[in-house]
Structure 1
Amino acid sequence: MNYPVVIGIDFGTTYSGCSYAFAQNEEIIDIVKWPKQNNHIYPKTPTLSLYRKGSKEILDWGHGAKRNAMKPNHPDTLLLSKFKLYLDEHLQKNVLPNNLDVVDVIADYLSVFHQHVCEELQKGFAANYQQSSFRYCLTVPAMWSDQAKSAMREAAIRAGLVERNDPSDRLMLISEPEAAALYCEKKSEQFNLMHGQRFMICDAGGGTVDLIVFEINEEAPGRRTLREVTRGHGDTCGSGFLDIRMRDYIRRKCMHISPIHEYAMEHILDNFINMIKPEFDGLEDQFLELPACMGIHHLTDQSIGLSNGCLHLPATELLNEVFEPIVQQILRLIEYQLQQSPDLEAILLVGGFGQSNYLFRRIDECFADRVGMIGVPPRGELAVVRGAVYFGLHPTTITERVSRRTYGIETRMLFQPAIDPPDFLVTGVDGRDYCRQRFSVYVYRGQSVKVDACVSKSFVISYPNNTDSDLYAFDGDGPVPRLTTDPQIQKVGHFPIRMPKLEGVKPGDKVTLTIRMYFGLTEIKIESVILDQVITYTSAFESAKMGVSNPASRIRLGSWSPPLLTDHVVTHPSAVMYPSINDSHHTEMHSTSTFFISNPLWKEQ
């Protein structure tokens, strides 16, 4: 399907933004007008939602949510911030108030955010098109799990961006550093980046910092593509954590003078975020005017640098107490990527935190002698959202990705007495001994996979029984466990397989089930094939831990139909045999991840 309008949404931890383009001319337009922004000139809106205590109905959002929450006569409201981080399974988080579900909170925000976006679009030429014909590209952190990405897709559906039964490519997900790389590729001539050269994207936002190394491939004059070289990774060390450290630093500094109420602290943090944080270079001292509501505007205390209500913040204190602990985490992330790909032409800093003078200075100090150049592209704070639009216009610009995990399914394989546990031995109807609950790998962690490549395996099942399968993942770098019962293996997905009606096939007959998996996409796609009938699954991941309780969110189930060869046959560049898999089985390789199917009646052909 052709989409005349492509909308990119950068749903961020602290700020969210939106850009769009018409497919005819591909000129990117940024949405810069946001409700109640007043004199704020930042081209994004705060990722804030306001609820009434005891209610699950959103009252306000963005700038309006913050303004209303700070009113002294609104004690019955709750201001939610940084709720995107609730999708990061590795962070310890407090329970959301009001028994709110994180997917619903994100959906609430995206719903009002999207409503404003549509109103802005209607003021322009997009009014000539139906919203149902828009394509949406939503950015997600590279470090997010499959479950988190599935929860994000579900939130977008609940928010009304797309309908649940729309084609899956109407809502596309792309990792934030990939989107930034597409934007930087458009600016690559400004940085003299040429065919075969590699560059690192350091996407430093409000919550997360993500990094990936890409290689430029000039397939033809004017036609450039990107190949992911390293396995993207990141950490929760964005600029929002500077704010947390600043809050603690100010409280410690002023603790013997006056308690700082939340209203006053918000004013202090606003000054820090808008005035100090962007310009801090680690060299110049800063001065902070404390709010009048603290009642100390005439107070002087030389022991803490307070003079007539103005607080002196020495550069060394800000550096050691606020900035350097967070920046050190980012430097370690960059070092890890450099160890994987030492031959780099450039490190490009994008995202809101990527515009920080101090961050640039520290990266330059540490890596300038190992990298050709360290740069900040123009409007780097919009690199991710603009890159999302480029991705929606040209989804095949990124041709190859690196698998973050090992994926596979659960099946039976021939029993090997020397290494398989006796408790797992079962005898099949064919009289042969099998090992149950074997982990059958589809793709390995760190493996490069082309975006259009698939891994295909075949199994035998009985007609007309329906069956279910589970997808498993292994995150380690060591030997892959043989059994899905290993504690290092985790179930990450579930997909039901409904047997179609097959002419000429009797109950009890054996039929071949082929499972094809595509790992080179942002989201894993799975196809089940039985006698040339294909069913397609996207976002095929159990997401109950993320608050997704709607069964439809677990698997997107297509309808059975005879396949067109041009739609489903993939040219396989190579065939790879895995020693951990039954030697009689042939695996066609085209991606980077690993899945498992947990049906005790299945055995590999």
Structure 2
Amino acid sequence: MSFRLLLSFTCKSQGFAYSNKINPEVITNDTWPEQIGQLKTNTVLQYDKNFKNIEEWGYPALAKKPRRNKGRTKNQPVPKPVEHFKLHLGSMPENEKPLLPKGLTFKKAITDYIKSMDTINTRWPNIKFMEQALIILTVPAEFNDQAKAIMRECIYNADLIKTKNSEKLQFSTEPEAAAVHCMKVLKEHLLNIVGTNFLIVDCGGGTVDLTTRQLLSSDRLGEKTIRTGGFCGGIYVDKGFLVFIGDKVGPSVMQLLQENHYGQLQYMVQEFCKKVKLLFTGYREDYKPFDMDLDEVCPVIKQYVTGSRLDKLEEDEWIVELNFEDVKKMFDPVIKKILKLIRDQLTRSGTISAMFLVGGFSESKYLQKRIREEFSDEVRNISVPPQPMAAIVRGALEYGLNMQKIKSRTLPLTYGIELAPLWKDGDPPERKQTYGRIFIFRRLAARGLEVDVDQEFGLELHPSFKEQTEISIEVYATTAIEAKYCDEPGMKKVGELRLDFPDTHLGFHRKITFTLTFGQMEIRAYARNQSGQSTNANFELEL
């Protein structure tokens, strides 16, 4: 039996689907801890007090409904769950990444979460241990090469693949997987014409990712623009709600809830999401002011409020009203960022026949309304596919079943290697190295270039010394189109290829063909000996 197993991770929620290649029925998991019928669950872990063992994961680890005993609420502090740990893989500033408990790394949290999935039901382990299983892991568009290498390491540490560089693990971006899924929607709208350009806007919990695709012949997709994204997903509306509550009870009270009663705090957030956020359309006539009873959703809060705020809340019997303008203010800063991302993408992509909104946050009627108001004159067809939350897991599975659907991708960075030619007059004197050489950056593929999935970029290399028995080739990437040196701003080391060169009798006449490929989302480096000698090469990505 030949399976294709999909794992899909997002900042706030997680899902997976699977299929048998012989009978490719797409089955999306809908069974999670304390949840039946949901297509995703929360990416949250509840550790024990030593942060060694997992006590709960998914939704039960996040929100705790207040428990009462003989009319009193049990308000003992409990360890705060760990969430949003995948944000550590993003390109956001270090000071904006979520704090983790002392002694817990984000790599361990990711690995522990993957391992926890063994407890879902009997389906997961049966698939996991099938020797022919292929895992398609979807990641946000803004993940760089190092982030994907770390995810590969975590998948390996979670025992889902037997070797770290296993070909049984492949990557797809979330908007790319969504694009594969939306190819069906193109047919429904009679837009399945070769050359049609369409934009995917993946609005998730933490991130929003965008990519513009072109429908090619034989049901294949090309990428027209560099993938873009930003941290402006649905959780930022939730944060706006917590700021609103903080104004009512005091910032210090919210800090105490964060530290000591996070489960009740998140239960209050989940009540807001179910009864306000998901229903908000942006039309004033549709909105009915919502009264949130703090004593019901977060009773422990009454222990901490003081002063004039306490007097006011007691007078209002701990009822907080959310009116139309209050909720609109929670949405608008987030939606403004999303609209800018779409505008920037449309500026680069040219004529677009359709725009598809996918991801959990795309179900927001207000977000849909604002996007249509802003762009309907430019893009006639702006659609939300059925069950947009599952578009990514299903599309990635469809990609895994037929990986030829993706013909090309657009490089987000410029790639090259470090060379050490002889220093010559006109080169910077301070860069002259031992033995009269200079380290330079040699570009192989430029940022913004559309590359086929099987396209190779390489050059011929020779030893630097006659007796050289080993070669080390360092691969670098930069946001710039051109670069001279590997220590320029924006330049990062991606990985290193080490290869044996034991036979020295040909001296400088030995030749190695070095090649980079980008086809399967991960950068891969290869070396071929052109001198008829045996060569062992090993490429390690920088973590």
| TM superposition score normalised by structure 1 | 0.78
Task: From 236, 249, 253, give the equivalent of 2:248.
Answer: 253
Structure 1 residue 140 corresponds to structure 2 residue 135? no
Structure 2 match to 1:59: 55
User: Deviation string for 1:8-36 (max 9, x for gaps)?
Assistant: 11111111001111101211001101122
63-72 or 403-412: bigger deviation: 63-72
Give me the whole-angstrom Cα distance separating, in 1, the residues matched to 2:121 and 2:460: 46
Give structure 2 stretches of 5+ with no counterpart.
Answer: 68-73, 303-308
Are 1:49 and 2:45 counterparts? Answer: yes
State whether structure 2 residue 378 is matched by structure 1 residue 370.
Answer: yes
C-alpha contact (below 8 Å) 2:88/2:98 kept by paired residues? no
Q: Superposed, which structure 2 residues align to 1:183-202 within 5 Å?
A: 183-194=181-192, 195-202=194-201
- The code of the aligned residue for 2:116 comes to V
Identity within the alignment, %: 29
Match of 1:243 among 232, 238, 242: 238
Query: Following the alignment from structure 2 to structure 1, what is the Cα–Cα distance between the partners of residues 461 and 206?
Result: 43
| Residue 120 (structure 1) aligned with residue 105 (structure 2) | no
Deviation at 1:484, TM superposition (A): 1.7
The reply on whether 1:225 has 2:234 as its aligned counterpart is no
Q: Which residue of 2 aligns with 1:161?
A: 160
Q: Secondary structure at the match of 2:162?
A: coil
Partner of 1:593: none
What is the identity, as a one-letter code, of the residue corresponding to 2:166?
A: S
* Structure 1 residues 98 and 52: alpha-carbon distance in aligned structure 2, compared to 1, 3 A threshold: farther
| Distance in 2 separating the partners of 1:200 and 1:145 | 21
The equivalent position to 1:314 in structure 2, one of 323, 347, 353, is 323
Question: The residue matched to 1:168 in structure 2 has which SS?
Answer: coil
* d(CA) in 2 for partners of 1:294, 1:95: 24
Q: Deviations over 1:518-557 (max 9, x none)?
A: 023310111011236576666x4211xxxxxxxxxxxxxx
Structure 1, 9-18 or 67-76: larger mean CA deviation: 67-76
The CA deviation at 1:435 is: 5.6
Rate the CA distance shift 1:288–1:83 in 2: closer, same or farther, 3 A. farther
CA distance 1:494–1:301, change in 2 (3 Å): same
Return the alpha-carbon distance in structure 2 between the equivalents of residues 80 and 138 of structure 1.
Answer: 22
| Alignment partners' CA distance in 2, 1:306 and 1:402 | 60
Alpha-carbon distance in structure 1 between the residues aligned to 2:24 and 2:419: 47
Q: State whether structure 2 residue 105 is matched by structure 1 residue 101.
A: yes
Match for residue 421 of structure 1? Answer: 428
Change (3 A) 1:117 1:333: same
Equivalent position of 2:13 in the other structure: 15
Compare the two structures and name the one with the higher helix fraction: 2
SS of the aligned residue for 1:278 comes to: helix
Aligned to 1:272: 272
Partner SS for 1:151: helix
Give the 5 Å matches for 1:458-537.
Answer: 458-461=460-463, 462=466, 465-476=469-480, 480-499=482-501, 506=505, 508=507, 510-531=509-530
Classify the secondary structure of the residue corresponding to 1:522.
Answer: coil
1:435–1:337 CA distance, 2 compared to 1 (3 A) = farther
Question: For 1:514, what is the secondary structure of its paired residue?
Answer: strand
Q: What's the offset of the Cα at 1:228?
A: 0.3
| CA displacement 1:85-107 (0-9 Å, x = unmatched) | 11113233254213112111100
User: In structure 1, the residue corresponding to 2:81 is in which secondary structure?
Assistant: strand
CA contact (8 A) 2:417 2:476 kept: yes
Which one of the candidate residues 6, 24, 31 is aligned to 2:29?
A: 31
Inter-partner Cα distance in structure 1 for 2:281 and 2:441: 51
CA distance in 2 between partners of 1:214 and 1:73 (Å)? 52
Cα shift at 1:315: 1.4
Q: Pairwise CA RMSD of aligned residues?
A: 3.0
- Cα 1:345–1:392 shift into 2, 3 Å: same
Work out whether residues 213 and 230 of structure 1, in 8 Å CA contact, stay in contact via their aligned partners in 2.
yes
Distance 2:522 2:129 in 1: 27
d(CA) in 1 for partners of 2:455, 2:507: 34
Matched residues in 2 for 1:348 and 1:509: separation?
Answer: 56
In 1, Cα distance between the equivalents of 2:400 and 2:538? Answer: 21
Counterpart Cα distance in 1 of 2:535 and 2:479: 30
Residue-by-residue CA offset, 1:192-240 (whole Å, 9 max, x unaligned)? 2222111000001011100000000123xxxx00000000010111111
- Cα drift, residue 424 of structure 1: 3.3
Residue 306 (structure 2) aligns with: none
- Structure 1 Cα separation of the partners of residues 459 and 447 of structure 2: 18
1:405–1:446 contact (8 Å) kept in structure 2? yes
Q: Paired residue for 2:344, among 332, 336, 358?
A: 336
Quote the residue 2:360 is aligned against. Answer: 352
What does residue 594 of structure 1 align with? none
Taking the aligned partners of 2:252 and 2:429, their CA distance within structure 1 comes to 71
1:162-177 equivalent positions in 2, closer than 5 A: 162-164=161-163, 168-177=166-175
Q: Which stretch of the first structure deviates more once superposed, 304-313 or 97-106?
A: 304-313
Question: Using the alignment, how far apart are the partners of 1:509 and 1:190 within structure 2?
Answer: 61
Distance 1:295 1:76, change over 3 A: closer
Segments ≥4 residues shifted beyond 6 Å: 68-71, 256-260, 300-306
Query: CA-to-partner distance for each residue in 1:377-432, whole Å, 9 max, x for gaps?
Result: 111110111111111111121101100000111113465644x213334697xxxx
Partners in 2 of 1:369 and 1:143 — Cα distance?
A: 29
Give distance in 1, aligned partners of 2:408 and 2:216.
11
Residues of 2 paired with 1:270 and 1:120: CA distance? 29
Partner of 1:181: 179
Question: Residue 241 of structure 1 contacts residue 326 of structure 1 at CA under 8 Å; is this kept in 2?
Answer: yes
Matches of 1:328 and 1:387, distance apart in 2: 28
Aligned counterparts of 2:156 and 2:317: Cα–Cα separation in 1: 53
Tell me what 1:558 maps to.
Answer: none
Letter in 2 for 1:120: R
SS of the residue 1:54 aligns to: coil
Tell me the equivalent position of 2:203: 204
SS of 1:18's partner is: strand
Distance 1:69 1:467 in 2: 60
- Residues 86 and 426 from structure 1, CA distance in 2 versus in 1: closer, same or farther, beyond 3 angstroms? closer
Q: How far off its partner does 1:247 sit? A: 0.7
Q: Distance in 1 between matches of 2:456 and 2:524?
A: 9
Structure-1 separation of matches of 2:251 and 2:98? 29
Kindly indicate whether residue 83 of structure 2 is the aligned counterpart of residue 81 of structure 1: yes
Change (3 A) 1:159 1:193: same
The change in CA–CA distance for 1:213 and 1:94 in structure 2 (over 3 A counts) is closer
Rate the CA distance shift 1:229–1:295 in 2: closer, same or farther, 3 A: closer
Tell me if the contact between 2:499 and 2:538 (Cα under 8 Å) persists in the aligned partners. Answer: no
Provide closer, same or farther for how the CA distance between residues 274 and 232 of structure 1 changes in structure 2, counting only shifts above 3 A: same
Equivalent-residue separation in structure 1 for 2:434 and 2:319 (angstroms): 80
What is the rounded CA distance, in whole Å, between the counterparts of 1:214 and 1:305 in structure 2? Answer: 56
Q: How many pairs were matched up? A: 514
**Structure 1 residues 448-495: Cα deviation after superposition (integer angstroms, max 9, x where no partner):** 111000011011114551222211111135xx2212232332222223
Structure 1 residues 256, 338: closer, same or farther in 2, change over 3 A?
closer
Cα–Cα, structure 1 residues 34 and 74, in superposed 2: closer, same or farther, change >3 Å?
farther
Measured at CA, do residues 257 and 151 of structure 1 come closer, stay the same or move farther in structure 2, by a change above 3 Å?
closer
Whether contact under 8 Å (1:349, 1:375) holds in the other structure is: yes
